[in-house]
Structure 1
């Protein structure tokens, strides 16, 4: 596979102590948080409808009937928001040979033995797997959700099809929640990641440690800051 660009629009380096690197624009951050909030609301409302023991969660949405009504509309918001994220970042998440090497050294990843890992672009293999998993799951969840959205589509599908769609939708939702948990845990585990999505910036040391190839491209192609200025520890 040919080498892909590792920087996105708006990525840049700023001199200072420490050196800082713009990682996400305000628009990208807003897009991300709309998607994240939609996912949380869908998980809570979906779980409330999933089992009687979780029905108390409908209280967050004004009761059972209202929960059932707004759940699919939140799904529409999620779809539209994630389309924005997908268009922004899909090229940066294309799989490369170094990603397979990174996965093969997962023990070094978990022990934070970074010097034994290949240099990573803007996203590592784990982040790419989450991105493509969510992309596929959202498409399938929306497709199955349309089948069981009785308010608008009940006349187009048989009862048997709706029953199968409910089962598929429930299984996919559980998988999605698990992927989301992994995503959040990884963001907390790698210190500085959440700050990148709230403030939009990371330190040069953070970029050097976790996404060195991305930083090299910025240094060589988009900034006058020298490599020695962006290689300190976090």
Structure 2
């Protein structure tokens, strides 16, 4: 049984994820080109300043629409449970790869759930503020004060989104097997049981839980 793998992400989910990732980098680079004159050279990647201004909002809209596909796929598994609060209290054990001493979690741990909701809030903020400052279509309906506030909030949401994605990439590389799951869709049973035991027991019908100490374990030496 330990040699059998478990499907973590379907082909549609993986394709959706990587399309969002590509659009994120394209929208991010074009946004940086428009953010400050010192970064305007990035506009050469999109055919110059005019094309960058034209393409940026459309790439943002496409990214948001595709991101909604991920939201519809994963929102049910990103609600917080009691174990998540205990997991956060013992996150220091997770950071030293001692997950045996933290409570079991479902398909996503508390850190991943926080990231999911942060990404959703940032995406919504970028969408609505982006519409306000989209000169070709909507900015004429708003006053200059509203546009200025929207530009500030747009930049702030973009900054938080970039930081969140950096954390997402780092965590994916740090937890061995996470990137392979999004590339190929499958994970091993030992990986699933170690990192997401409640989800492992749900999909395998394995009712035998691992023992979790009441207090964090300390390592000698």
Could you tell me which runs of 5 or more consecutive residues in structure 1 were left unpaired when the two chains were aligned: 1-14, 228-234
Deviation of the 1:215 alpha carbon: 0.7
Correspondence for 2:141 among 156, 161, 165: 156
Correspondence for 2:20 among 32, 35, 38: 35
In the TM superposition, what are the counterparts of 1:1-234 in structure 2 within 5 Å?
18-220=3-205
Which secondary structure does the structure 2 equivalent of 1:150 belong to? coil
Spell out structure 1 runs of 4+ moving beyond 4 A: none
Deviation of the 1:169 alpha carbon: 0.6
* TM-score, normalization by structure 1: 0.86
CA–CA distance in structure 1, aligned partners of residues 205 and 45 of structure 2: 50
RMSD over equivalenced CA pairs, Å: 1.6
How many residue pairs are counted as aligned between the two chains?
A: 209
Deviation of the 1:91 alpha carbon: 0.5
Deviation of the 1:203 alpha carbon: 1.0
* TM-score, normalization by structure 2: 0.91
Deviation of the 1:106 alpha carbon: 1.0
CA–CA distance in structure 2, aligned partners of residues 204 and 62 of structure 1: 47
Which secondary structure does the structure 1 equivalent of 2:176 belong to? coil
CA–CA distance in structure 2, aligned partners of residues 85 and 55 of structure 1: 32
Which secondary structure does the structure 2 equivalent of 1:151 belong to? coil
CA–CA distance in structure 1, aligned partners of residues 59 and 162 of structure 2: 16
Deviation of the 1:154 alpha carbon: 2.1
